[in-house]
């Protein structure tokens, strides 16, 4: 058995920070477009759809990277409740990054709208048109997005707690490293 690693693999770190920017941008784009009647609404919507599909593709790549590279462990002295919180929040982050684009895609399908990523790039519908299904998915999209935003905030606060207060190398493991 090889020695434990202290940092995430470079490809994992790259995907983490790239997707961090994309997901946070996506959350702000979504919140802004849903609250705007100006041209911004349309402009943001046209950004939101292709960016969402890009995140969906990247999260699949990222899961593959996660299971094919070695992860640094959590510090041995970390209280069990924090270990559990770390595990659950990571599971939630992956789950939401994967589900939100699919729910968005499905809700456009359920509205009977063409799923257009640009003026000519069209994706197939993934659920049949149905008003009840649309209403459910559209609300789910909002609630799940808020859940993702608060999970990201928690993740950020926890990372800073590790980096600034515990100073236990957890934040460093995603920031830099030679391996």
Partner 1 sequence: MVDQLPPVRPAKPPLSPTSVMLRLAGIGVVVVVMAGAFYYVNGTLDSQRLRPKTLVNALEHNNGVYPGYRRNHAKGICVVGYFQSNGNAQGLSRAQVFEDGRTPVVGRFALPSGNPYAPDSSVPIRSLALRFTEANGQQWRTGMNSMPVFAVGTPEAFYQMLQAGAPDPATGKPRPGAMPGFFAAHPESAPFLQWVKTAKPSASFATESYNGINAFYLVNAAGQRQAVRWGVVPEGQDAPGATAPDDADYLEQDLTRRLAAGPLKWQLNLTLAEAGDPVNDASKAWPAGRKVINAGTLVLQQAEQQNSGECRDINYDPLILPRGIEPSDDPLLAARSAAYASSYLRRTSEVDQLSQEKRP
Q: What residues make contact with partner 1 under the rule CB under 8 A?
A: 3-6, 27-28, 31-42, 70-76, 111-114, 116, 119-120, 122, 129-132, 134-135, 138-139, 149, 153, 156-157, 160-161, 164-165, 167-169, 173
Cβ 166 to partner 1, closest distance in Å?
10
User: Residue 47 in 3-state DSSP?
Assistant: helix
> What's the CA gap between 82 and 155, in Å, rounded?
12
Classified as helix, coil or strand, 111 is coil
Q: How far is the CB of 81 from partner 1 (least distance, A)?
A: 16
- Say if residues 175 and 10 touch (Cβ distance below 8 Å): no
CB-nearer residue toward partner 1: 167 or 176:
167
CB closer to partner 1 out of 18 and 24: 24
Comparison of 55 and 111: residue with beta carbon closer to partner 1: 111
Q: Is the dihedral of CA 24, 66, 95, 45 positive or negative?
A: positive
Which of 47, 19, 21, 20 is CA-nearest to residue 32? 47
Which residue's CB is nearer to partner 1, number 60 or number 160? Answer: 160
Nearer residue to partner 1 within complex by CB, 79 or 132:
132
Residue 170 Cβ, how far from partner 1 at the closest point, in Å? Answer: 9
Those residues with Cβ within 8 angstroms of residue 3's Cβ, 6 or more apart along the chain or in another chain: none
| CB-based contact 56:26 (threshold 8 Å) | no
Nearest approach in angstroms of CB 120 to partner 1 is 4
Nearest of 64, 66, 140, 53 to residue 97 by alpha carbon: 53
Q: How far is the CB of 60 from partner 1 (least distance, A)?
A: 20
């Amino acid at each position: 058995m090889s020695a434990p690693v202290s940092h995430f693999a470079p490809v994992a770190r790259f995907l983490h920070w790239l997707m961090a920017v994309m997901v946070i941008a996506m959350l702000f784009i979504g919140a802004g477009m849903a609250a705007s009647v100006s041209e911004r609404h349309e402009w943001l919507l046209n950004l939101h759809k292709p960016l969402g599909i890009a995140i969906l593709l990247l999260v699949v790549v990222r899961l593959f990277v996660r299971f094919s590279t070695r992860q640094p462990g959590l510090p041995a002295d970390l209280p069990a409740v924090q270990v559990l919180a770390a595990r659950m929040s990571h599971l939630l982050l992956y789950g939401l990054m994967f589900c939100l684009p699919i729910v968005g895609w499905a809700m456009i399908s359920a509205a009977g709208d063409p799923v257009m990523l640009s003026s000519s790039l069209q994706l197939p519908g993934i659920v049949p048109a149905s008003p009840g299904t649309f209403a459910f998915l559209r609300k789910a999209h909002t609630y799940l997005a808020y859940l993702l935003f608060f999970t990201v905030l928690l993740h950020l606060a926890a990372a800073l707690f590790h980096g600034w207060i515990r100073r236990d190398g957890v934040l460093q493991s995603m920031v830099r490293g030679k391996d």
